[in-house]
Chain A
């Protein structure tokens, strides 16, 4: 059977203490924090981050990309192909988008294992991401977080083998959105968890354990992605699992619920701490429910270090006001976007815009960006090869600008020298204004630049290397 080859995750740099929500409205607040996507992030950019973390910027041999989200940036148009193109996957990679249901992240993982088992793809990278807004003052506002998880499913030398998959469904009106809506409607969450989610998941896990022939006591970790703070604990209890160390942290305390991305993020968290031989039950969903039994192998010891959950958790900045949170959740009207764009120009330049190719001159070996026919150094004409730029480098020059339209000025503009060559001008994100220093290391992150032309114009930005984490790539 297929196995898990690698994992990755992404948690935005920004967090909001829940007490700031509570204090703003004079309502009860839960402890802890939620992760908040910045102005220039959406589920595509966060999916890219998790996927890059998973494959460490090496697309070699990745045969497919499945993307799952209930908050995809396009209602109609693939997000998977954007992520695949940024990752520079070969153009015969299989791509598909999963959505509509909170179960879509796990469903994509199961579909990926089936594609690998059937031979339809050598491997499939599954990226699930959520960038969620909730109605102010609701419980959801303090519950939902932003984040992404990514799992590479393949064959041979897996870090965890997939031992079995059990799938079921249940039709209930728990929470939903009508077309065009960004905020969820819900019926009665107590009814939904009591009569739907808990019995559905617990039942499915019991069936799965029975069909896999695994004794519950032999489960090293129960990974249940549930829609709130406590449901996964209740499911553990229903299964008779009393040792809290055997129940994977659901990330609610400091990230929040990440919808379709939650099971992949939790699995990444479980694999960070896993030992060879561990049996892991991964379960979750909503509408559709999947249970996956995994057995960790020796290969997990060989996996290169990555940020995943712990690295990203350690690197953060807390927003200093609820207003800054609301602005990032599109709850504050933004300045009109006067940018222009061209779908055709962005397509023509797709190789430089998405996977960030420049040129390397074959005459003088200068690496340069943007790609041009004539070398800016030696002026040779058409003697160059495409050259993928490294996603890290050193800051050579920068300025904080208050003039450019920006929901939270200044705009930090940077010129960086990339590892392996290439000097590039980029905006900087996820930094404290005024703290940039020439010579500091920077890394590149894929972000929304503007909405000109009525579509999402993505490109790269620099950011200070996220502290507390492991260097990407």
Chain B
């Protein structure tokens, strides 16, 4: 019987992220999935099962969204919907399926076509209860962490701005990134306010895009390529949609990040994350989100996220490279696609194929994906190129 550590990624693909007005869901899924299959050197007929992450109903319903695009008729395809973790949860389920040996070769992908529904933030009408959570937006749900974190640890708006500057620096050289430009600390600080301390440049953009990964087991992977990457650790956790009502929640840490990381590190045998993880694609929907996350993932002490970022400890050549791709902030964030896009980036980094943004000597990389209005659900996947 195989286990999760026998699971290998042998091919990845992603579209350019951005306002892809010319491409529909079908276009983007097709481009990402065929790129992944070409990377893996397999034909669609090889696929035995598929998982597709989509958050919004206007992007697509059900697994047939995938078979409609790439015509993988007659195999089981499952739609995963788990907020911004929809894509990484598709990846998790695909990994479990090949680990169980039910299937040998599967695809995990994600897609979101947000710009078809206007461009002012993520659609929230009809979310949850008609009146109880009315007024809550994505930036305010995460931004609510700032007043408490600032009170407890002295975190400042300038600390947040350093996250944006770092991620734009990384993403500017990434050909598939939504934005291809650096930003200055001053630009971030002076950008129009969106929510609380979060200005326009503290917020990830509304992007379209798709990403895909081909998953098999190591014994099979060897027949396709030598530089496949394997699962080293994996942990997922869901908390609650109602954190703002929870007296036990202090807004100082994203609880699902802490819990998912504990599980992933335990499986990976990692006890000293900043010295054992080379790079992490870390969920930075808003700059404040990354500040808490780097603490929750153990890359610095609780409360040190702001200063550690400002000191450059998370730069591409820092202690841990956080978001070498540019992250959600610069690369973009098509909800259902993001988790798989993180796997795409970590795989490229571990294969030494991250042109222009390569973390030198990367051996262990993490995809960390957080979702919900605030930290509701989280997935952490640790990949390695060490055989």
Chain A residues at the B interface, C-beta cutoff of 8 Å: 338-342, 345-346, 349, 352-353, 366, 368-370, 376-377, 397-404, 406, 411, 413, 415, 417, 423-425, 427, 438, 449-450, 452-453, 457-459
| Interface residue count on the B side (C-beta < 8 Å) | 36
Interchain pairs with CB closer than 8 A, number: 116
B193 proximity list for chain A (CB < 8 A): 402
Judge if B139 is at the interface, Cβ distance under 8 Å.
yes
Task: Assess whether B151 is in contact with A403, with CB atoms less than 8 Å apart.
Answer: no
28 A-B residue contacts at CB 8 Å? A340-B125, A341-B130, A342-B130, A345-B130, A353-B132, A370-B245, A376-B242, A376-B245, A398-B144, A399-B147, A400-B196, A401-B137, A403-B121, A403-B137, A403-B139, A404-B137, A406-B135, A413-B135, A413-B140, A423-B244, A423-B245, A423-B247, A425-B133, A449-B130, A449-B134, A449-B135, A453-B130, A458-B131
A339 proximity list for chain B (CB < 8 A): 125-126, 130, 134
Task: Assess whether A403 is in contact with B140, with CB atoms less than 8 Å apart.
Answer: yes
Q: Nearest-CB distance from B139 to chain A (Å)?
A: 6
The one of B125, B135, B192 that contacts A427, using a Cβ cutoff of 8 Å: B135
Closest to A439 in B: B151
Closest to A436 in B: B147
Closest to A424 in B: B245
Q: Nearest-CB distance from A23 to chain B (Å)?
A: 31
Closest to B199 in A: A402
Judge if B72 is at the interface, Cβ distance under 8 Å.
no
With A and B bound together, what is the CA distance between A17 and B151 in angstroms? 40
With A399-B146, A423-B246 as contacts: A459 and B195 at CB distance below 8 Å: no
Task: Assess whether A411 is in contact with B247, with CB atoms less than 8 Å apart.
Answer: no
B135 proximity list for chain A (CB < 8 A): 401, 404, 406, 411, 413, 427, 449
Produce 1/0 per residue, B119-156, CB < 8 A to A.
01100111001111111111110011011100100000
Judge if B275 is at the interface, Cβ distance under 8 Å.
no
With A and B bound together, what is the CA distance between A18 and B136 in angstroms? 36
Task: Assess whether B251 is in contact with A459, with CB atoms less than 8 Å apart.
Answer: no
Q: Nearest-CB distance from A326 to chain B (Å)?
A: 24
Task: Assess whether A353 is in contact with B251, with CB atoms less than 8 Å apart.
Answer: no
Q: Interface SS of chain B: helix, strand, loop or mixed?
A: loop
The one of B132, B140, B151, B242 that contacts A401, using a Cβ cutoff of 8 Å: B140
Judge if B62 is at the interface, Cβ distance under 8 Å.
no
With A and B bound together, what is the CA distance between A346 and B137 in angstroms? 22
With A402-B195, A403-B137, A427-B135 as contacts: A457 and B245 at CB distance below 8 Å: no
B138 proximity list for chain A (CB < 8 A): 403
A411 proximity list for chain B (CB < 8 A): 135, 140
Q: Nearest-CB distance from B259 to chain A (Å)?
A: 16
Residues 142-172 of B at the A interface (beta carbon under 8 Å): 143-144, 146-148, 151
A342 proximity list for chain B (CB < 8 A): 130
With A339-B130, A438-B151 as contacts: A402 and B136 at CB distance below 8 Å: no
The one of B130, B136, B245 that contacts A413, using a Cβ cutoff of 8 Å: B136
A417 proximity list for chain B (CB < 8 A): 247
A353 proximity list for chain B (CB < 8 A): 131-132
